[in-house]
Amino acid sequence: MKTTIRMKVVITILPALVAALSILGSTALIMSRSGMIRLAMRSLSFKSETLLQFGESQWNLLRNQNLEGDPVFVQAARDSLATYARSLLRDESEWTAALNLDGSLGFSESLGPLPLAVPPDLLELMRSGITGPIRFGSGKDACLGQAFYLEPYAWYVVVSDRETAVLKETSGLTSAITWATSASVVVAFILLVILSASISRPLTRVTAAMSAVLRTSDFSGSLKPENNDEIGELTIYFNALCSEIDRSYRRIGTIALREVEAQTQVVERDLEALAALGKVAEYRDEDTSKHTLRVGMYARVVAAHFIDDEERLSILANAAPMHDLGKIGIPDSILLKPGKLTPEEFEFMKTHTVIGHSILKEFKNPFLAMGATISLTHHERWDGAGYPRGLRGQDIPLCGRILALLDVFDALVSERPYKSAWEPDKAIELIAGERGKHFDPAVVDAFMSERSTILGILANNQ
């Protein structure tokens, strides 16, 4: 039987076109799915590493203070870890859990409904000692995750996200690829059968474009239809397919940008954790006070008169709330005493400066290093009558001179167990009277020039 050109075109080009479209669609779908999964696992890995570092730093803090055997402090550290784990969540599909080695839950955090029970295969992964990337659950509850052991707490910690949520962006792409491929095959068959003589050149262009897409993975280009016919429609469908795939890649880029923003938010939460560390001692005697918050805000305003580098200014302002961290080592009988301290009690109270310094001095983090200096020097006086070292004048670090004034001011205007709050004007009058005695004259001048701002901070943060 004679084989016509039309049939040759049909039996030669059509299968190749179908194969190319199928490969293109499958490749795009596979690449999109794998890209989504890689980004999700990268995000989960980042969160698990951040959570591990936070847990270890909390435990190191307890260990440095010989508090790892105190169940109250250990439970506080565990609660802090659970709170921090919740702060890392971004979507209702995400779940963070800590499993005790007996299979019970240490904590379970999610923005959505919590699982009714720990998946059996997750317990099996824990018993098998598997860490790093994991997959557990089945069907719509299948989850991707990152697992690690947090030895000090005897926890197996899992940070996970539902697989359906990770891949939800690809559902529309799958339909678009299926529809576009099917439509393209039908149109191509009709055109090849009817217009075999005129379709060779346009199909060559389309095939070349497909080859370029597969080779470069660049879906942003498009072909201009040569004719207003079915071949032109095929070209339009090809452009629509590439456009849909290109939009999917842009969605992936958006997800990557969100991950960067999430990392920025983690840095911001690190600063919040520093502020919370500054409140550790304060919550023992000033449960409702915003003393540490105000002191940090005051510090930024006053220190700006001496520091023109934003990074150094931020370090001082965020380290300022840690000035009284050492009070965690002062007994309640002294710290919460409503009356005047005895000379012996006052001498013991003075040790909070060196206690705070000893807690923070070993850390390399610039915020904690600054906090160590502030803790040690914020009770030194310009005239040399302060403690613990009796430093005088410029021998006192700038941060200590600034905090010496701000701590006294906020203590005066705050209610304490042993006194009522002073009126701000009376406290400012005392500050002015101590210029060149208790306080650095330059710091007093900077404080006075920012009086309205300081009083605004005080009024808005009671």
Instruction: Say if residues 418 and 384 touch (Cβ distance below 8 Å).
Output: no
User: Domain 1-273 - what CATH class?
Assistant: alpha beta
**Per-domain boundaries in the chain:** 1-273, 283-460
Of 68, 212, 223, give the one whose Cα is nearest residue 151. Answer: 68
Instruction: Say if residues 405 and 440 touch (Cβ distance below 8 Å).
Output: yes
Give this prediction's pTM.
Answer: 0.44
Print the SS3 string covering the chain: CCCCHHHHHHHHHHHHHHHHHHHHHHHHHHHHHHHHHHHHHHHHHHHHHHHHHHHHHHHHHHHHCCCCCCHHHHHHHHHHHHHHHHHCCCCCCEEEEEEECCCCEEEEECCCCCCCCCCHHHHHHHHCCCCEEEEECCHHHCEEEEEEEEHHHCEEEEEEEEHHHHCCHHHHHHHHHHHHHHHHHHHHHHHHHHCCCCCHHHHHHHHHHHHHHHHHCCCCCCCCCCCCCHHHHHHHHHHHHHHHHHHHHHHHHHHHHHHHHHHHHHHHHHHHHHHHHHHHHHCCCCCCCCHHHHHHHHHHHHHCCCCCCHHHHHHHHHHHHHCCHHHHHCCHHHHCCCCCCCHHHHHHHHCHHHHHHHHHCCCCCHHHHHHHHHHHHCCCCCCCCCCCCCCCHHHCCHHHHHHHHHHHHHHHCCCECCECCCCHHHHHHHHHHCECCCECHHHHHHHHHCHHHHHHHHHHCC
Identify the CATH number of the domain defined by range 283-460.
1.10.3210.10
Predicted pLDDT at 221: 62
Tokens of 415: 């209610």
191-to-99, 198, 233 alpha-carbon distances in Å: 62, 9, 10
Predicted pLDDT at 332: 85
Predicted pLDDT at 267: 43
Quote the CA–CA distance of 95 and 90 in Å, as a whole number: 10
Predicted pLDDT at 282: 58
Other CB atoms within a 10 A radius of the CB of residue 31 amount to 16
The owner of tokens 């962006």 is 169
pLDDT in tens, the chain (462 residues): 544 545 666 666 667 666 776 677 677 677 777 888 888 889 999 999 999 999 999 999 889 989 888 889 989 989 999 999 999 998 898 999 999 988 899 899 998 888 878 899 999 999 999 999 999 988 888 999 999 999 888 899 999 999 888 888 666 666 766 777 777 667 766 766 665 655 556 666 666 766 666 666 666 666 666 666 666 676 777 677 777 776 766 776 676 566 545 444 534 555 555 655 655 655 555 533 578 889 999 999 999 999 999 999 999 999 998 898 888 888 888 888 888 889 999 999 999 999 999 999 888 889 999 999 999 999 999 999 999 999 999 999 999 999 999 999 999 998 877 778 999 999 999 999 999 999 999 999 999 999 999 999 999 987
Quote the CA–CA distance of 422 and 448 in Å, as a whole number: 17
Quote the CA–CA distance of 420 and 249 in Å, as a whole number: 63
Of 140, 138, 156, give the one whose Cα is nearest residue 148. Answer: 156
Phi, psi for 223 (deg, rounded to 5): -110, 140
